[in-house]
Structure 1
């Protein structure tokens, strides 16, 4: 087994690797890997926009890749809270300040929250169940009865509500527990033992099918003790959904897309900051550039006046896009948004260090494009203050 440690946005590392392993890393999409131009048997490796842990298995060897975020784990956890606009960890006492392994921290947090959720026993609820029986209960499924039994009175095809622990909330927690134990990397021993104990608690719960969309659950007074654990379970299940097999590779892990993480934080935090302003905000708005609606546009954030007229458009970029031949692709994209939404100004928001502040007035168009940079490596209150300042600039310039 080969263990590799990379840091987000760090310069490429030169590592001696077998040819087959280097190719497997390149095909995985988790890291950018290319043969060294001058040293045979060596590969240049860089993180490819994700943080976390993954194991890549080939016919010849196994590689475990740990990708450390460039900001402290505590900052990453704060950003993750905004994936669903909820406070998950602000009152958590897990010491994550010096921890650099995202998977270990998330697993520890999840174990603590899940243990708290089931401390009073597993939650019960009603689940709609289809059953073939000789006793009438619930309601008869007439079409299924005719199709299966051709007019015979018995057995009966019925649907009834069953009071059980095998409900969505418990299935999410059971599946997240199994997913963390399935990730092929060494968790801290105390965390692993806690997860094994949780797996025994959920031994009679049906796990969710892998690869399918996660079921929805509803906030209520009855499941209040499960809320934090359920949000963490969703995070675990989405992060571990990286499991796939491209070609002859098997990739398993817990990974977080940093660009999506930053986009979720900025858009949700902006929506919160503008909540008291007249009008409303839409995330991932759908529009079109042309009158025939053939060219779709999806800006990350649009704020509307009470009349329904667009007031501000924002697109969030973790780092500047400079594809070959299009060095100013972000600016072109924002120009299209401004034209389509009839605005005289547009706003691009970057993570500081990946791009700088700037203002560009487009010739003959009367449109100004503003570039903003947010410093992520600062305490949450200061970061939210910066978002509030950005929100004020949006409304002042609209």
Structure 2
């Protein structure tokens, strides 16, 4: 198998014969947001130039081709950003802090889930009562009278009863996630063995049904299944970021992708919400009307006066300077909100920072870096606007 490792927002050139035209078309059709691929022809020979966009992760294009997209941000900081997001709020993953590459991270995460499932199987799986309908030779639960009247000649008795079983949705979600990981070819051989062992441990108790990440959210937990919250969180992480395509029982493609722009925006919002002075309140995706309905990334208001203090727009881009489009957009928001401060936030310093005040609106570019300790980077960012707070 050809494995191509790219760096986020960087390109790599591959000999033309390494990737068939059909696979090139598949990349263009299914992963154009994540991968840009173009044919280069010059004196050096024909070759594909593959450029990674604002996603990191793993793409199993075919059984013969896989692509890893490594983040430019250290893996431990990507993990720290995830821990700030609402889905992981309050959860820590100390087992993953020593991961250096994306493959290390994904393998460790899959192994963590497998180990947690095996431990749960040793301690005992959660059982719950499930409503069942069946024709039995004896009465169990209560007789289904309407069905019995419809077929009075039937020897077996139609019954409705409650069965205490392991084959419930809590266990089925985990079972399906392990199945998805096994089909993905995402893991190394050692991790694959662990995941297969966990899958086999559930196989005799649980039936396989498809689930989505939405099925992992807003679930009800009692004292009997409280420990499943952590397992379902891990399942949600995999199901939310994977997109398999099956064709005639064979693996056609599989992806595990993180949208770094969305993660960066969510992280900045979560960090500011936790560290802003108590007299200020942060609003995310604040809706306003400017001819049409728009959503501002972040708005900071004074709690008592409701006065808008800052308009903030997070831009996960590698830029030398602020584009005129971004400048116009954030100023339009500030004008509509009658806000004196508009700030564009970038993950690294611009070659030419913006400090623009042609009128009552002060527009700036500031950096919330991701290359070092995130709390220290956040405090430096907050210090740059603290005088206005």
Band the TM-score falls in, shorter-chain normalisation: 0.7 to 0.9
Correspondence list, 1:285-300, <5 A: 285-290=286-291, 295-300=292-297
Is 1:346 the counterpart of 2:351 in the alignment?
Answer: no
Distance in 2 separating the partners of 1:304 and 1:31: 39
Q: Tell me the residue number matched to 1:269.
A: 271
TM-score, structure 2 normalization: 0.80
Unpaired segments ≥5 residues, structure 1: none
Secondary structure in 2 aligned to 1:213? helix
Q: Tell me the residue number matched to 1:107.
A: 110
Query: 8 Å contact 2:355–2:364 — kept in the other structure?
Result: yes
Is 1:35 the counterpart of 2:39 in the alignment?
Answer: yes
Distance in 1 separating the partners of 2:348 and 2:239: 30
CA deviations over 1:260-291 (Å, ceiling 9, x no partner): 221221111111223x613533322333223x
Query: 8 Å contact 2:115–2:198 — kept in the other structure?
Result: no
Distance in 2 separating the partners of 1:205 and 1:346: 54
Q: Tell me the residue number matched to 1:306.
A: 303
Please report how far the alpha carbon of residue 44 of structure 1 lies from its aligned counterpart in structure 2 after TM superposition: 0.6
Query: 8 Å contact 1:355–1:373 — kept in the other structure?
Result: no
Higher gyration radius (CA): 2
Distance in 2 separating the partners of 1:33 and 1:349: 29
Query: 8 Å contact 2:143–2:158 — kept in the other structure?
Result: no
TM-score, structure 1 normalization: 0.78
Please report how far the alpha carbon of residue 396 of structure 1 lies from its aligned counterpart in structure 2 after TM superposition: 4.8
Query: 8 Å contact 1:319–1:354 — kept in the other structure?
Result: no
Q: Tell me the residue number matched to 1:214.
A: 215
Secondary structure in 2 aligned to 1:196? helix
Query: Quick one: which of 46, 50, 53 aligns to 1:48?
Result: 53
Please report how far the alpha carbon of residue 139 of structure 1 lies from its aligned counterpart in structure 2 after TM superposition: 12
Q: Tell me the residue number matched to 2:174.
A: 173
Q: Over aligned residue pairs, what C-alpha RMSD do you find?
A: 3.7
Q: Tell me the residue number matched to 2:236.
A: 234
Query: Quick one: which of 84, 97, 100 aligns to 1:98?
Result: 100
Please report how far the alpha carbon of residue 33 of structure 1 lies from its aligned counterpart in structure 2 after TM superposition: 0.2
Distance in 1 separating the partners of 2:159 and 2:281: 49
Distance in 1 separating the partners of 2:271 and 2:92: 16
Please report how far the alpha carbon of residue 36 of structure 1 lies from its aligned counterpart in structure 2 after TM superposition: 0.4
Distance in 1 separating the partners of 2:336 and 2:151: 63
Distance 1:197 1:331, change over 3 A: same
Unpaired segments ≥5 residues, structure 2: none
Secondary structure in 2 aligned to 1:214? helix
Is 1:73 the counterpart of 2:70 in the alignment?
Answer: no
Q: Which moved more, 1:255-264 or 1:278-287?
A: 278-287
Query: 8 Å contact 2:8–2:52 — kept in the other structure?
Result: yes
Distance in 2 separating the partners of 1:254 and 1:138: 47
Query: 8 Å contact 1:270–1:388 — kept in the other structure?
Result: no
Is 1:193 the counterpart of 2:193 in the alignment?
Answer: yes
For these two proteins, the number of residue pairs brought into alignment is 370
Distance 1:281 1:355, change over 3 A: farther
